[in-house]
Amino acid sequence: MCGIVGFSSRIDNAEAVLEQMMDRIRHRGPDAGGKYLNDEIALGHRRLSIIDITEQGDQPIFNEDRSMVLVFNGEIYNYQEIRKELLAAGHTFKTETDSEVLIHGYEEYGTELLNKLRGMFSFVIWDDNKKELFGARDFFGIKPMYYAQMDGSFLFGSEIKSFLPHPDFKKELNTEVLEQYLTFQYSPTEDTFFKGVKKLPAAHYFLWKDGKLTVQRYWDVHFKADEAPLLGDWVKTISETFHDSVRAHKIADVEVGSFLSSGVDSSYVAAVANVDKTFTVGFGSDEKYNEIGWAKRFSRAIGKENYSHVITQQEYWDVLPKIQYQMDEPLADPSCIALYFVCKLAAEQVKVVLSGEGADELFGGYNVYSEPDGTWYDKLPMGLRRGVANAASVLPAKRGVNFLVRKGRTLEERFIGNAYMFTPAERKALLKIETSAADPTAVTKPFYDKVTDQDAVTKMQYLDLHLWMTGDILLKADKMSMAHSLELRVPFLDKELMHVAEQIPTRFRVTHSVPTDDHTPYTTKYAMRLAAKRDTPPETADTAAKKKLGFPVPIRVWLKQDDCYNTVRTAFVSPDAEQFFHTEKLTQLLDDHKNGKADNSRKIWTVYMFLVWYKVYFGTPDAIPAGR
């Protein structure tokens, strides 16, 4: 795992600027650094040594005649197979790394190389003969890639913060993204909070030549249910494919560990991977917020050692500026901070850790998937349900009211993903500034348009795979692990396992009707839970049925306490807040929450995280935290 940076070299002191850019992402690769410069291009690389940990694995890496040069972030799990093909085709290798497969593979196959790969990656290749830059990002967006075109320069890198030292980079806030963020809790489109900086979408590549950029998709998810196999057949196929994926994800020349919560995803990974060490964090002693006791019992049952840490309230709040610095863009997911601490814990013991991200999106794991259209209420005319929803929308948010509001909207209108913070009307009322940000449904429409023939569950999965998973789940996984020079691998997000998941009928993903042999009614990830049950010890068999907590954070409770309330209130009436928000409405949200009138904790947190991030990147120079 590594970090990459680069730019078109049309500036003075290009080498010094490149060094500064590389220093900004040293945490991604503390083991070594390398660079390549000529009159057209500057490429930089920071290395975290995982495979071929000798110096011959350092980057940049060249082809035989040095006409092509590569910098790469990620791991290619089937590189040995591709290497054999390339050797047979006459290519000469100088290293044992997976990196070198990419440059010879691009020589041999061009962009078709991408569909041969199995792994997580973002990389660029400079072709000095064609004066052309090729860059690509993996199928699911596990590894990040940002780019910008400013004042004639083309910049790219693993993290936006690496752009800051470049003389052509203009640091400006993108207020349209701020408005979208207030609804989604992350930036949901290709645009970022920095005006002019874009994300290369997952499963896309770019070509940059003569100052012109083209971006192209090379792969997509295609759900097509195969009704022929029985449930038992699907369970067997999931098990076999997942075991194969875990074997591939364990390839390393260093020790590999595993995260462990009380849910089925991480438990399944830990049990199958047979790693020596597992890692868990929690808050206090309340089992609503602490999975450590369960994780230790599970680890003992599979014969592994569990390392744990109880995060204090003070620790959590103190680290928020560092978190938002590492994230590059504000993220309002409270579990991001817990992930930071479990990565810190793991990095004290190992260089590589396995985690359970992606299982919910592939196999239908979110609770919202178990509430598709089909209840008796859904049989009422939509006009009637809309009227009820409009009336209910003015009432304080709570479970029954929320149900009525949701059911008065079509799926495409009501479901934008696993987080829906501020409605378009609420965010307009809260913001003092005016933007031309699109309605959330305009953001989701291109994805819904690709699955018009699918059922509601599959539509939600497809949307989450492209927005929520990439924009929230995988973003925090990459940034929080790399903040501690830790490589995080996700065996569920494997191209072969996705091919299996695409074919599983909806009734075997999300169901209310099929009981298990012990009469436990699974409703989500049904077939996958049965597969997991085959690999978990009998004494922990309830793992398959247990609802995971997902790094639960007690912010709802904390925001009612005077110290936390006062911290947030100070931010809500600050000059930074005054620039963007009607601050009296911010404080009203906070007061209503403290007084028990409404649970506004997630909305409060969404605004507060933006303000913390804004102070770090647009405040005084010393606002950027040093170190980890």
Residue 515: band (very low, low, confident or very high) from pLDDT cuts 50, 70, 90: very low
- Domains of the chain (ranges; CATH) run 2-172+193-217 (3.60.20.10), 231-365+467-544 (3.40.50.620), 554-628 (no CATH)
| Coil, strand or helix at 57 | helix
| 96-133 pLDDT, tens digit each | 889 999 999 999 999 999 999 999 999 999 999 999 99
Q: In this predicted structure, which of 45-49, 133-137, 248-252, 597-601 has the lowest mean pLDDT?
A: 45-49
Q: What is the pLDDT of residue 371?
A: 75
| 378-394 pLDDT, tens digit each | 888 989 999 998 898 88
Neighbours of 440 (CB within 10 A): 21
Q: Is the pLDDT of residue 41 over 80?
A: yes
Q: Is the pLDDT of residue 276 over 80?
A: yes
- DSSP single-letter state for residue 47: E
- Distance between CA atoms of residues 584 and 581, nearest Å: 9
Task: Please give the C-alpha separations between residue 240 and each of 77, 130, 236, 244, in angstroms, as whole numbers.
Answer: 17, 44, 6, 6
> What is the spatial order of strands in the sheet that 2-8 belongs to?
32-37, 41-47, 2-8, 153-157, 146-150, 197-199
Q: Is the pLDDT of residue 620 over 90?
A: no
- Distance between CA atoms of residues 268 and 259, nearest Å: 11
Task: Please give the C-alpha separations between residue 517 and each of 129, 391, 521, in angstroms, as whole numbers.
Answer: 64, 44, 10
| 301-352 pLDDT, tens digit each | 999 999 999 999 999 999 999 999 999 999 999 999 999 999 999 999 999 9
Helix (H) / strand (E) element for 20: namely helix 14-24
Task: Please give the C-alpha separations between residue 583 and each of 30, 324, 561, 590, 607, in angstroms, as whole numbers.
Answer: 42, 22, 20, 11, 11
Q: What is the pLDDT of residue 226?
A: 97
Q: What is the pLDDT of residue 119?
A: 96
- Distance between CA atoms of residues 469 and 541, nearest Å: 28
Q: What is the pLDDT of residue 266?
A: 93
Q: Are 143 and 74 in contact (CB under 8 A)?
A: yes
> What is the spatial order of strands in the sheet that 212-217 belongs to?
61-62, 68-76, 119-127, 132-137, 204-209, 212-217
- Distance between CA atoms of residues 450 and 192, nearest Å: 24
Q: Among 295, 198, 235, which Cα is nearest to 517's? A: 235
Q: Which residues contact 610 (CB under 8 A, 6 or more apart)?
A: 178, 181, 182, 330, 332
Strands 153-157 and 146-150: antiparallel
Q: What is the pLDDT of residue 407?
A: 85
Helix/strand/coil (H, E, C) string of 158-192? Answer: CCHHHHCCCCCCCCCECHHHHHHHHHHCCCCCCEC
CA pseudo-torsion sign 559, 562, 567, 568: positive
Q: What is the pLDDT of residue 137?
A: 98
Residue with the bigger pLDDT between 548 and 160: it is 160
Helix (H) / strand (E) element for 157: namely strand 153-157
| 183-204 pLDDT, tens digit each | 999 999 999 999 999 999 999 9
| Coil, strand or helix at 436 | coil
Residues shown for the chain: 628
- Distance between CA atoms of residues 366 and 510, nearest Å: 9
Residue 452: band (very low, low, confident or very high) from pLDDT cuts 50, 70, 90: very high
Q: What is the pLDDT of residue 21?
A: 96
Q: What is the pLDDT of residue 52?
A: 55
Q: What is the pLDDT of residue 517?
A: 44
* pTM of the predicted protein model: 0.93
Q: What is the pLDDT of residue 469?
A: 98
Share of the chain above pLDDT 70, in %: 92
Share of the chain above pLDDT 90, in %: 78
Helix (H) / strand (E) element for 4: namely strand 2-8
Active-site residue 2, yes or no? yes
Average pLDDT over residues 572-585: 97
Neighbours of 576 (CB within 10 A): 17
Q: Which residues contact 384 (CB under 8 A, 6 or more apart)?
A: none
